[in-house]
Homo-oligomer: A and B are copies of this chain.
């Protein structure tokens, strides 16, 4: 059986060019001990993957190996197994993405829970992005009822759950996004929408103030750049900033300078803390128990931006950096 997969041919500087992603194919060997073969239905592309496209090992995740199959979240169906925990026909989540057929160790393969949601939800609102939103608010920012909460990239896979969890907690919530349809979606969720388009940090700060006259107690940061500078100008005493990511600088060949007003951290006695969701995965069951029933009932909204076919995976990934997604960006595979 053949597996088709993407590899990186070189590490990019700046925004990766499409040509660096190469589609390859190989005949799969016989299944090894403890291995499983999966036909993927859905592939995930996520901004954090840009951090693996570098020769420099960061502290928490290894770079993609050039010429090898790339990796990422995926949902698929077991078609052959050498592990007794898994059965042919099981729908599973795993990290053997960026390919159609994955043959991997069963260690990191998890059957989906029996909850009445579409399977691809486990790549979005019930998967890593959803868990990231929950972790940032609960464990890093320690949000509480009545907080004034600001979320950047608020219509993205992470941000869109963050704003809804904050609304559900009884917070006043402001969401930053760009396109009109994203702002409209946020408004429909009870969020005060603020556009970053054509606005300086100062103008964005003024817009945030208008949307949250009592300042900002919690900032869920996905973007950096002007969003961070604008947010810092509006934080209240004791504010907590959970830094999930700074997509603004992921593709910068030379990273742009940081905010001019970092000393607001002192004046406002504020905390700014980065986190990686993998460190908090022991809380995944708690997250699922809390969030999954609300998703099943339709009380929590989520959107998907879907590209079709394995070939479209690099384009889906690159579109993340151009605001090309509302909610979760997914690649759907069909036979």
Judging by beta carbons under 8 Å apart, are B262 and A269 in contact? no
Decide: A59 near B273, CB < 8 A? Known: A257-B258, A263-B224, A263-B249.
Answer: no
A332 within 8 A of B: no
For residue A55, give the distance in angstroms from its CB to the closest CB of chain B.
15
State which size class the interface on A falls in.
35 or more
In the complex, A40 Cα to B262 Cα: how many Å? 37
Q: Which residues of B contact A51 (CB under 8 A)?
A: 267
Judging by beta carbons under 8 Å apart, are B267 and A58 in contact? yes
For residue A42, give the distance in angstroms from its CB to the closest CB of chain B.
26
Decide: A262 near B224, CB < 8 A? Known: A269-B276, A273-B271, A279-B269.
Answer: yes
In the complex, A255 Cα to B261 Cα: how many Å? 7
A245 within 8 A of B: yes
Please report whether the interface of chain A is mostly helix, strand, loop or mixed according to DSSP. Answer: loop
A243 within 8 A of B: yes
Judging by beta carbons under 8 Å apart, are B268 and A274 in contact? yes
Judging by beta carbons under 8 Å apart, are A266 and B275 in contact? yes
Which A residues are within 8 Å of any B CB, using their own CB?
A: 51, 58-60, 224, 228, 236-237, 243-246, 249, 254-276, 279
